[in-house]
Structure 1
Amino acid sequence: MMNCCGLLTEKKEPVPLKSIDAQLEVKDHVATLVSTLNFENKEDKPLETVFVFPLPGDAAVCHFSAQIGETHIVAEVKEKQQAQEEYDDALSSGQQAFLLEESDESPDIFSLKVGSLPPGESASIRLEYVTELAVQADDGLRFCMLAVLNPRYQPQGSEGPSVQVTSVPASLVPYSLSFSAQVSSPRPISKIESSCSLEPLQYLNADQTQATVKLGAGHKFDRDVELLIYYKDAHQPSAVVEAGQASAKPGSLMGDPVVMVSLYPEFPQSVMSSLAACGEFVFLVDRSGSMDCPMNNSTPQETRISSAKDTLLLLLKSLPMGCYFNIYSFGSTFEHIFPTSVEYSEKTMEEALKKVEKMGDDLGGTEILQPLRHIYSQACIPKHPRQLFVFTDGEVGNTKEVTDLVKKNAGSHRCFSFGIGEGASSALINGMAKEGGGHAQFITGADRMQPKVMQSLRFALQPAVEDISISWDLPKGVAATVLSPPITAIFQGQRSLLYAQLTGQSSEEAGGSVTVKYSLAGHPSQNQLHFSLKPAEHSGLTVHRLAARTVIRSLESEERTQSGQNEEMKKKVVELSVQSGVSSSFTAFIAVHKDSGKSVEGPLVHRNVPTPFYGMGSMATACYYSAPIGMSFQCAPMSRMLMTDMDSLPDLCGAMPKSANFLYADCDDDSEDFGVEFNEPEVVLPSKDPLLQLVSLQKASGCWMLDGSLAAVLGKSSEEVEKAKPPPVNNEVWASILALIWLHAFKMDAKEEWELLSMKAASWIKAQNAPCVSECVEAGNALLGCGVKKEALGLSGLSTGFSLTMEAPQCRKEDTEVVD
């Protein structure tokens, strides 16, 4: 018996990839990853192996080489068609060849071909890329080595993907992974966290500016390898000047010095102390079939769609009165709650929440273009800047088309994107936020979606920065040519990166400065950074390659927006890609072993290396669909399912019983079938999170009603709550103060989730000019058995804490309808 889903491909073929060794080097906020992929042909025929795998969409792939015995072959970057022809010619003449190319559909998918690997021979492939580390809202720097590649959904009517992904469940990946990281920074490293199991962090020096960490043994490929690196005093502007390449032509990007500037604008506290009450908030939620997958293995009852619904509850409760909002959802089709965005009120909030409660993962595939086009076709509301929040597991095949559409409409909105679960496309999530002037977040492992989304809502409520300009003050004879796209968005505490090519001569002792000027809430502001022109030591060509990657991506985007086939633009991309050694969509890395002395005899056997996907991957009994118990049906072979987007499973499987468990079967050589086992479903209803219960009871204005539902969340009877109320205080003020005390006393670990709605509640209470607030706080503490200070609740005056500039209408019983 042969296990058709074990150490073989979906066609029951041996897998020549045996192991991957990845070594990461982080210098401040720039990362270099060197991966070595070890192949071995244990068959009696020569092989051509194809491996399709993910890389970060904003990485600059800058080295590709092969080691065969004692021979080391370094690949060259060439125009893609030329590279493919050289590869084919080499194989047809019996030579060994290696080809690495980027997918035409998405810059985060690469295809590696290892050609003519003779029987019994091994080859080690070395792949290197550099990337900037994204700053998270909690100031951590995020590095992610993508280990999971979920099949991408191709929209109806579109061309098929240029590369076919062979996938297996994450628990059945037949090769191993080792990973180690070395981190260095001018500032001490306070900690390194990961969703994967890590060995203890080891510091290499006394001041803790250098450290190493390794991935724990037994990585199961059920998640990406994510590191969150935290430095002390992380928000420090900096500039790194890197000398040009000696062999490159002076005046070229690689021949001249390049400066990388990291800016962390700090906004005046007077502006930040009052968050905007205006805006049009549009929420776009993925309801494709793959949103039924668990958020993580430890809490399988919490699916991506259920977490998204809980997040929408928090978002709607946290919006300021007077703004506008709408909720869209999409799959193969799309829906919206309101025909156009409506003003936020108790009535519209309740109507939206009722419809959110009924949302399911029932809209089919992942076609995001149509709802985006519909949103952008809606006229913007004067004095209410549009803020778009996109929630998706990112399994789309037309990434470039989506990001180009966001870029085209960037002047009318800011886009905040959220990648849900393992395998979400980094090119899509980061690309939408970058092109839309917003902020990207990834929710993986045991992460909760709610705190990350609320952090982004804080960004969205910041005043929009306008009239951004950059100026340079450099020594006479030195000029800076900015290589980065114009900065379109600046957020408090978030890094802005700038690359510039420096021309002209100056002494190494000379210095310069760069100034960013902008308007914030109508007030002119600026941030200035002084830096030395002396090139950094031991930086290699990292900054140049990142700068080249930036220019290449800009040119590629410009070529697409001009309806493609712009030969002049394509020529520029190819020239810069070849000159810098950085990959592009129009080039590929090609290496040919020309001096082996003998040709490889015999017909080549083609082998696909499977890539792990998450979804139902690590839980082999995972796919559920509705049908009468006992119904018989025919289902697609597992090999076909593994090649198919999770969102398409309902179409393949027809009507599936709720009690049907997919079983991976032991198959003989002639069979691709697998078994289905029927059991009576076990119904487990998760208990409602008390925090979400309390949030669901809050009214749009910010207050709570005094009723039995609130008392139950507080763990008290209605009589106890009524009896403890100070006589002069009305019911709604008393209820709202109790809710605030409970949040601050018992849910401080989730403060990021409820902070905005608590600020809204405090603002409402102060607007009532209610008497005896101090007595209420004292009585509330006595009732709930805690000791929260009035100042902590934001009730000591507008000068303390944050406040929302908003209308604060009275909370009336006749307007209420509790939404559980």
Structure 2
Amino acid sequence: MMNCCGLLTLEKEPVPLKSIEVELEVRDHVATVVSTLNYENKEDKPLEAVFVFPLPGDAAVCHFSAKIGQTQIVAEVKEKQEAREEYDDALSCGQQAFLLEESEQSPDIFSLSVGSLPPGESASIRLEYVTELAVQADDGLRFCLPAVLNPRYQPQGSEGAGVQVTSVPASLVPYSLSFSARVSSPRPVSKVESNCSLDPLQYLITDQTQATVKLAAGHKFDRDVELLIYYKDAHQPTAVVEAGQASAEAGTLMGDPVVMVSLYPEFPQSVMSSLASCGEFVFLVDRSGSMSYANDYSKEQESRISSARDTLLLLLKSLPMGCYFNIYSFGFSYEHIFPKSVEYSQKTMKKALKKVEQMEADLGGTEILQPLKHIYSQPCIPNQPRQLFVFTDGEVGNTKEVIDLVKENSDSHRCFSFGIGEGASSALINGMAKEGGGHAQFITGTDRMQPKVMQSLQFALHPTVVDISVTWDLPKEVSVTVLSPPITALFPGQRSLIYAQLTEQSSEAAEGCVTVKYSLAGHPSENQLHFSLKPAADTGLTVHRLGARTLIRSLEMEEREHRGQQDGGVKEKVVKLSVQSGVSSSFTAFIAVNKDNSKVIQGPLVRRNIPTPCYASLSIPKAYYLVGGSMEMDDSLPRRANNEREVPSEMEKKSRRGIRDVKFKVFSLFKLKRAPRPMAAVPDQPPRDPLLQLVSLQEASGCWLLDPALAAALGKSSKEVEKSKPAKANSEVWATILALIWLHGLKMDAKDEWELLAMKATSWLRAQNAPCVTECVEAGNVLLGCSVKKEALRL
């Protein structure tokens, strides 16, 4: 790595962040996270430390405090500019101050400034946030503690394209992590899994509804920490009513009770087994430089772009005849295989696959906005609902702009998004899916991309849920104000969380009811949940804060949609709600000043930027202050004769704020000479997976041809395959049944990947109305050494 303009080198020069302690409390579907960051200034000068770090994109930061020695300082939420000025003024007066603010570009990036930490002094920063837990395909709830903040690509021509996430190889991150979790639910906790080593799960009570778990000793904070939590009877809907804050005014969000309803609609299996035979499927694939990395650097694994190529193969083979499709790829620029979406056929599929095989991570940066605009500018095809699949490692700096664009076009398509690798922006991936009425998936560590993507394709092919409505039945004296935006999409196994403010009081014995109605494939359905209006005990204000966060995000998006068209009334609402609830927003910041500190801190401040882990280094031209470790700036201020600091002029304040603002304008530079990557080296590609080899031979119609390539994929010679064919059997019918027997008999562990294309093959066989099917299945089992029954093949 280069040492540019005073950046910290890799010689382990000290940085102030020494350790991070994280305590997680999971209650059913939501989590409260308390992080303690411990600093120590071992230098001989006062220090200003800047730490840019990721949080989940939908997290609601609700507490921030600092402890220096025996002094505890609790931060307040204030309008962002006001908070920044108070921070600058405090430092100018030699006071200790702390500033926590959310990036204006992406809600999953925060910056913590620790100001005026004297030589030899220690500080402990406590940060608390609440977040919803996403439901996975196997009913597990996913919690992710982001460790990796990838450099975020800043689009060309955007304002303030500059630096600020300083990164070092994960093995050299100079701070440690301790992590523990407590899980409780009305239902028993069946298991907790992680991508990191855990100590055994400890149950606290005999019914197993409460448990604790922690990371095993010796964990290095070199990757996102992911927990998967499983409950028994996971699909049972629930409702929690939380009492308002005693000190808050009645009639306000924090003063009234708030209810959180968790719903799992049940879909009839008969309807869900039918798949659509139409649609326009648009695939948008990231080909930026970082897609050349492997997902899991502790193990030899194929590159992200290689995995994306294999996934596109499965997708193209699984599409139904009669649909339309196109494939876009992007980096600094974007490309498409066809000028516009084309009808799916053997010819168009073959041409697309030839292009896919040539895809490499060679398009530079991550300009996702322009290809999205181009896709949305294409007219929709009548009676072919548009389904957009986006694959990216999520390293963009204009997250909010991308999400806004998806929302603007939400009435013309559904968006399914996939975050690839450590550090993918949860705000981007979840935001695109949420606003596009689709589904989000994350592929990290040893996860295979293919099964998760094929599951989303099944969602896209299922009949669309329409006419969704939510109604409340409450006692006459209780009224309801829904805080959540309308539900736009429902998928099998997908949970919907609804927050609502309840006004007026009711007897504790009173009940409420919420009903969700919808239509699926012409069949009207409804789900009902009855719940007690008595507030639950010991819930803190978690539900209120999540409800406030939901409302804040909706208002922020409304403000961006109408920016320049009104007098800022929406922004004022956001600031007011953020201050009242103590929950972060893009227009506010947490500010804490130690006004009791009688000793004025002497000497110029030295700025230190705390490095975050990365898996690659770039050789950067001198003009860019990116990468390496820490930036050193002399933030000294003019002195009076008595050595006290002068109050800075407005120009000086503006200069300081400009330096701080730059820290969110982070970007990644590609198409530059790459330095060696000690951890991210991708091994030589192994021979093609036999499953993918077989899949690659399937025709667009769903059948296989009887040829030497198929015999080789089945592990047999052409002579053996020909000799075993029943005399009256059609060659393509025989080949297709052999392929299906091989899949069902030898590859059931990968059924999620090939199920859709096998269904297409079965449909083709039925359409042939061919004789000798039973004889072909029997002969195929003998040839391949399997025992697959005809019924298993749905023939």
Task: Using structure 1 for the length normalisation, give the TM-score.
Answer: 0.89
Following TM superposition, by how much is the alpha carbon of 1:416 offset from its aligned partner in structure 2, in angstroms?
0.3
| CA offsets 1:195-227 (integer angstroms, 9 cap, x no match) | 122222222222222221111233333320011
SS of the counterpart of 2:259?
A: strand
What residue number does 1:798 align with? none
SS state at 2:764 partner: helix
Going from structure 1 to structure 2, the CA distance change for 1:538 and 1:441 (only over 3 Å counts) comes to: same
1:433 corresponds to: 433
Instruction: Tell me what 1:799 maps to.
Output: none
CA distance 1:336–1:489, change in 2 (3 Å)? same
> Aligned residue for 2:504?
504
Q: What is the aligned partner in structure 1 of residue 570 from structure 2? A: 569
Q: Over residues 636-677 of structure 1, what are the superposed CA-to-partner deviations in whole Å (9 max), with x where a residue is unaligned? A: 6997454898852423x2xx7xxx84689xxxxxxxxxxxxx
Moved more, 159-168 or 244-253: 159-168
Amino acid at match of 1:787: S
Q: Is the 8 A contact 2:42 2:120 kept in 1?
A: yes
How many Å apart are 1:747 and its aligned residue?
A: 1.1
Once residues 44 and 645 of structure 1 are traced to their aligned partners in structure 2, the CA distance between those partners, rounded to angstroms, is 30
Q: Aligned ranges for residues 59-458 of structure 1 at < 5 Å? A: 59-160=59-160, 164-300=164-300, 302-458=302-458
In 2 relative to 1, CA 647–124 (structure 1 residues): closer, same or farther, beyond 3 Å?
closer
Q: 4+ residue runs of structure 1 moved beyond 6 angstroms? A: 2-7, 633-639, 643-646
Counterpart-to-counterpart distance in 2, 1:257 and 1:683: 56
Determine the structure 2 residue equivalent to 1:628. Answer: none
The whole-number CA distance in structure 2 between the counterparts of 1:14 and 1:276 is 59
1:68 CA drift (Å): 1.2
Equivalent-residue separation in structure 2 for 1:460 and 1:662 (angstroms): 38
Offset at residue 366 of structure 1 (A): 0.3
Answer yes or no: is 1:593 the counterpart of 2:614: no
Higher relative contact order (CA 8 A, sep 6+): 2
1:778 deviates by 1.5
Query: Separation in 2 of the partners of 1:700 and 1:524?
Result: 34
Q: Which moved more, 1:211-220 or 1:274-283?
A: 211-220
Deviations 1:23-50 (A, max 9, x none): 1111111011100000001111111111
- Using the TM superposition, give the Cα deviation of residue 295 of structure 1 relative to its aligned residue in structure 2, in angstroms: 2.1
1:408-459 deviation line (CA, Å, top 9, x unaligned)? 1001111000001111111100100011010101100010100110111111
Per the alignment, residue 612 of structure 1 pairs with: 613
Alignment deviations for residues 366-418 of structure 1 (CA, whole Å, 9 cap, x no partner): 00011000111111111111110000011000000000000010011110000
**Cα drift, residue 585 of structure 1:** 0.4
1:548 corresponds to 2:569 = no
Change (3 A) 1:662 1:280: closer
Match of 2:295, SS?
A: coil
In 2, Cα distance between equivalents of 1:11 and 1:389 = 43
8 Å Cα contact 2:73-2:593 kept in structure 1: yes
Residue 737 of structure 1 aligns to a residue whose secondary structure is helix
Alignment of 1:573-722 (within 5 A): 573-614=574-615, 616=616, 640-642=626-628, 648-651=669-672, 653=673, 661=676, 684-722=684-722
Q: Which amino acid aligns with 1:252?
A: T
Alpha-carbon distance between aligned partners in 2 of 1:163 and 1:76, rounded to the nearest angstrom: 28
- State the partner residue of 1:792: 792
Q: CA deviation at 1:522?
A: 2.2
Q: Output the CA distance in 2 between the equivalents of 1:501 and 1:637.
A: 52
Q: Which residue of 2 aligns with 1:675?
A: none
From the superposition, tell whether residues 375 and 179 of structure 1 become closer, same or farther in structure 2 (CA, over 3 Å): same
CA distance in 1, matches of 2:683, 2:181: 44
Change (3 A) 1:402 1:154: same
Asked if structure 1 preserves the Cα contact closer than 8 Å seen for 2:253 and 2:501, the reply is yes
Please provide the CA RMSD for this pair. Answer: 2.4
Distance 1:86 1:683 in 2: 52
Q: Please tell me the residue identity of whatever aligns with 1:762.
A: T
Q: Equivalent residue of 1:56, what SS?
A: coil
How far the C-alpha of 1:269 sits from its partner, in A, is: 2.3
Residue type of the alignment partner of 1:498: I
Question: Residue 792 of structure 1: CA displacement?
Answer: 1.6
Letter matched to residue 576 of structure 1: L
Letter in 2 for 1:477: E
Q: Which structure 1 segments of 5+ residues have no match?
A: 618-622, 624-632, 665-680, 796-820
Distance 1:566 1:25, change over 3 A: farther
Q: Distance in 2 between the 1:768 and 1:412 partners?
A: 36
Q: Does structure 2 retain, via aligned residues, the 8 Å contact 1:9–1:610? A: no
Q: 1:720 to 1:107 in 2, by over 3 A?
A: same
SS of 1:648's equivalent? coil
The alpha-carbon deviation at position 526 of structure 1 amounts to: 1.4
Secondary structure of the residue aligned to 1:275 is coil
Residue 780 of structure 1, CA deviation: 1.1
CA apart distance, 1:566: 4.8
Name the SS for the 1:65 alignment partner: strand
Relative to structure 1, is the Cα distance of residues 486 and 324 closer, same or farther in structure 2, using a 3 angstrom cutoff? Answer: same
Q: CA deviation at 1:683?
A: 9.0
Letter in 1 for 2:171: S
Which residue in 2 is equivalent to 1:809?
A: none
Contact 2:4 2:622 (C-alpha < 8 Å) held by counterparts: no
How far off its partner does 1:467 sit? 1.4
Q: Within 5 Å, which residues of 2 pair with 1:722-741?
A: 722-741=722-741
> Whole-Å Cα distance in 2 between the matches of residues 589 and 486 of structure 1?
30
Instruction: Tell me the distance in 2 between the aligned counterparts of 1:419 and 1:466.
Output: 27
Map 1:532-547 to 2 at 5 A. Answer: 532-547=532-547
Aligned letter for 2:84?
A: Q
Distance 1:634 1:86 in 2: 35
- With normalisation by structure 2, the TM-score equals 0.92
Task: Identify unmatched segments of 5+ residues in structure 2.
Answer: 630-664
Change (3 A) 1:789 1:634: closer
Q: What is the distance in 2 between the residues matched to 1:171 and 1:60?
A: 30
Which amino acid letter does the alignment assign opposite residue 599 of structure 1?
A: V
Q: Deviations over 1:524-563 (max 9, x none)?
A: 2211111111111100100000000000000000101113
Q: Report deviation, 1:684.
A: 3.7
After superposition, the Cα gap between the structure-2 partners of 1:512 and 1:640, relative to the gap in structure 1 and judged at 3 Å, is closer
Q: After superposition, what is the alpha-carbon deviation per residue over 1:140-199, rounded to whole angstroms, capped at 9, x for unaligned?
A: 111000000000001110012687211112121111111111111111222211112222
SS of 2:415 mapped into structure 1 = strand
Whether the 8 Å contact between 1:311 and 1:450 is mirrored in structure 2 is: yes
Asked if 2 retains the 8 angstrom alpha-carbon contact of 1:290 and 1:646, the reply is: no
* Contact 2:365–2:670 (8 Å) recurs in 1: no
Once the 2 structures are TM-superposed, how far is the Cα of residue 469 of structure 1 from its aligned partner? 1.2
Structure 2 Cα separation of the partners of residues 74 and 444 of structure 1: 36
Specify whether residues 687 and 635 from structure 1 end up closer, same or farther in structure 2 by C-alpha distance, changes over 3 A only.
farther
Q: How many residues are matched?
A: 757
Secondary structure in 2 aligned to 1:650?
coil
Which amino acid counterpart does residue 34 of structure 1 have in structure 2? V
Kept in 1, the 8 Å contact 2:15–2:610? The answer is yes
Instruction: Give the direction of change, closer, same or farther, for the CA distance of 1:365–1:247 in structure 2 (3 Å limit).
Output: same
Query: Which secondary structure state, in structure 1, belongs to the residue aligned with residue 788 of structure 2?
Result: coil
Alpha carbons 1:66, 1:124 under 8 Å: kept: yes
